[in-house]
Chain A
Amino acid sequence: MNATEFNFLASLPSIAPEVGLTIMAMVVLFLDLYLPESQRRNIAYVAGAGLALLAITPLIPGWAPPADGNLLFWGGMVRHDVLSQIFKVMILLAGAITCFMSIDVKDIGRKGEFYLIIIISTLGACLLSAASDLIMVFLALETMTIPLYILATFKRDDSKSAESGMKYFLFGSFASAIMLFGLSLLYGFTGQTNLYLIAEYITSSQFIPNAIPVLGAMVLIVVGFGFKISAAPFHFWTPDVYEGAPTPVTAFVSVASKAASFALLVRFFIAVFPSALVIGDQHLQDFWVQLMAVLAVVSMVVGNVVALSQRNIKRLLAYSSIAQAGYTLIGVAAIQAQTLEGQTQAVASVGFYMFMYTFTNLLAFAVIILFTEATGSETIKDLAGLNRRSPWLALMLTIALLSLAGIPPAAGFFGKFFLFNAAVQANLTWLAIVGVLNSIVALYYYLVVIKVMYVDRSPDEDKPIPMSISYVWVLGVTALVVIVLGTVGAQPIFDWAMRSAGSLFS
């Protein structure tokens, strides 16, 4: 961080989406206050279209990260680099799609507050993906999660929704406290709050070389991250929250908060504990990389094995999301690669996986929203005969599940391919093999759902599931993105992810 003079206008592009989100939050607030009951559907359109428009702002050429390499803005609070760019785009699109698929949901679709809180949570997630200061990390984390606690309880009359919000709040604040303790220890050892200055201080001669306390702080921070990305063994909140929360909220929690947390995870560990960092004769990177590998294995095994016995589709996707966090952690563990090329590839595979996972999961949840709004059921058995009821819906859910399972031509195939490839390049072949074995286990429970939709019969087959135009768009766009990412779009997006990864190491 250089002591360059503060230039307001030059600093603005680094938080352009956040400024837009703040303005949008106010617009939605006033729409909620002054729109008559008959026009309340428009709030969702305004919020969704606004978020989708803001997703373009990080891509405006004039607002791209500066070429002179001075990427820290606002006193080192945020880092304006390609990593924040790619994650902001995916988070904003996730927010937009969530708005569009909440329109017809009972008790939610016409409430302005719902969209307001989604926007504020998106704001926190965007800041989180760019945060480069301990204070900003915690502030953004709370700006993202506190609205999520509220959203989980949004169906006030539903006891399950209240339960899920309460559990989310208790687990979440506990994890935040543990993480904050870790962050404060890190500050205590170094006297620095900027992520990039912490590593600098640790390597300087002022620091008393003792690795044990720093490792303690690292473990506490890993616990906090583990909770946010729902990695086992910090996953206990996930199934209950996913099941109890209103389905659009589940969709948003499963993609936006996870993507933002992964963005921060790779940024944080690469910045604070880089491979060059040695305390005494201990390479700190070896420790956190091994922690990530262990978390990855535990998450994949727990997620996939427990998912096998689920009867509720939302619970199934909750355990599946735990397993997906495990796959993604393979990419984080692969940062131990010896070459810079390998490290960049590892981070890029995480970015790409989150990008494709965002759209895949939103597609799956959009179908589930339509299905539960029409039938009131969330059990897998009731999906029987969906192919005869609404063939398009069945096809969409099939695409999403195949993508989650990692079967071409859906995007999940390339997502897993890049992750496992990065692991092999980093001499973590055993981890890649565990990943492949887990994918085979996962294939079973995804295929069971597809079998129920296409083979099983039900007496309701002559009742098609109604859907409004907004849902047609959501399903069409997300399904198209999933297919494109699995075919021609994989290379350009992976190149973008490579550039974003490269920006972390410069």
Chain B
Amino acid sequence: MQLLNEWAFIGVFFAIAWVFPLLPIAGSWFLRPHKPNAIKQQTYECGVETVGDTWVQFKVQYYIYALVFLVFDVEMVFLFPWAVAYKQLDWFAFGAGFLFIFLLADALIYAWRKNALEWI
């Protein structure tokens, strides 16, 4: 039973997680006036009306850019704890961090040489 009590917390959190977003939505539904008109019901996209078909093909370069960006984005996540704990680390952990940066730099050189960073 001890086990069940511990897990019950998750159940409580689960219930709260549902209530938390639903409450403001329901609240605003009751409070707000309900007067639709043509202008209000237009498609809203960043404040500008869409031009042409929305199902256009993106340039493949976007994905490569995003991927290269992501590599360094994730690198930051891993390097941050390493940098914070820097003073308590031994030589092995210090080297491991640099090895990690080195491998990623390798990938960047590859992407660079293959002209992935050029906008054609």
Q: Which of A6, A8, A26, A208 contacts B106 (CB 8 A)?
A: A26
Let me know if B110 and A33 touch, CB within 8 A: yes
What is the CA–CA distance of A8 and B92 in the complex, to the nearest angstrom? 8
Residue of A nearest to B102 (CB): A26
Query: Which residues of B sit under 8 angstroms from A6, Cβ to Cβ?
Result: 92
Q: Which of B92, B106, B110, B114 has the most CB of A within 10 A?
A: B110
Whether a CB of chain A sits under 8 angstroms from the CB of B3 is yes
Query: Which residues of A sit under 8 angstroms from B109, Cβ to Cβ?
Result: 33
What is the CA–CA distance of A6 and B92 in the complex, to the nearest angstrom? 10
Let me know if A208 and B3 touch, CB within 8 A: yes
Query: Which residues of B sit under 8 angstroms from A8, Cβ to Cβ?
Result: 92
Query: Which residues of B sit under 8 angstroms from A481, Cβ to Cβ?
Result: none
Whether a CB of chain B sits under 8 angstroms from the CB of A29 is yes
Shortest distance from the beta carbon of A149 to any chain B beta carbon, whole Å: 15
Q: Which of B3, B92, B106 contacts A29 (CB 8 A)?
A: B106
Shortest distance from the beta carbon of B25 to any chain A beta carbon, whole Å: 31
Query: Which residues of A sit under 8 angstroms from B110, Cβ to Cβ?
Result: 29, 32-33
Contact with B along A80-115 (1 / 0, CB 8 A): 000000000000000000000000000000000000
Q: How many residues of A contact B (CB 8 A)?
A: 8
Whether a CB of chain A sits under 8 angstroms from the CB of B32 is no
Let me know if B113 and A33 touch, CB within 8 A: yes
What is the CA–CA distance of A208 and B109 in the complex, to the nearest angstrom? 54
What is the CA–CA distance of A33 and B109 in the complex, to the nearest angstrom? 9
Query: Which residues of B sit under 8 angstroms from A29, Cβ to Cβ?
Result: 106, 110
What is the CA–CA distance of A26 and B108 in the complex, to the nearest angstrom? 12
What is the CA–CA distance of A22 and B110 in the complex, to the nearest angstrom? 15
Contact with B along A175-217 (1 / 0, CB 8 A): 0000000000000000000000000000000001000000000
Shortest distance from the beta carbon of B106 to any chain A beta carbon, whole Å: 6
Instruction: Mark out the residues of chain A between 22 and 48 whose CB falls within 8 Å of any chain B CB in the assembled complex.
Output: 22, 26, 29, 32-33
Shortest distance from the beta carbon of A209 to any chain B beta carbon, whole Å: 13
Contact with A along B85-120 (1 / 0, CB 8 A): 000000010000000000100100110011000000
What is the CA–CA distance of A26 and B103 in the complex, to the nearest angstrom? 8
Residue of A nearest to B114 (CB): A33
What is the CA–CA distance of A33 and B3 in the complex, to the nearest angstrom? 57
Shortest distance from the beta carbon of B16 to any chain A beta carbon, whole Å: 22
Residue of B nearest to A22 (CB): B103
Residue of B nearest to A33 (CB): B113
Shortest distance from the beta carbon of A22 to any chain B beta carbon, whole Å: 8
Shortest distance from the beta carbon of B96 to any chain A beta carbon, whole Å: 10
Apart from A6-B92, A26-B106, A33-B109, what are 10 other A-B pairs with CB-CB below 8 Å?
A8-B92, A22-B103, A26-B103, A29-B106, A29-B110, A32-B110, A33-B110, A33-B113, A33-B114, A208-B3
Q: Which residues of A contact B (CB under 8 A)?
A: 6, 8, 22, 26, 29, 32-33, 208
- A–B Cβ pairs within 8 angstroms, 13 of them: A6-B92, A8-B92, A22-B103, A26-B103, A26-B106, A29-B106, A29-B110, A32-B110, A33-B109, A33-B110, A33-B113, A33-B114, A208-B3
What are the nearest 4 A-B pairs in CB distance? A33-B113, A8-B92, A29-B110, A26-B106
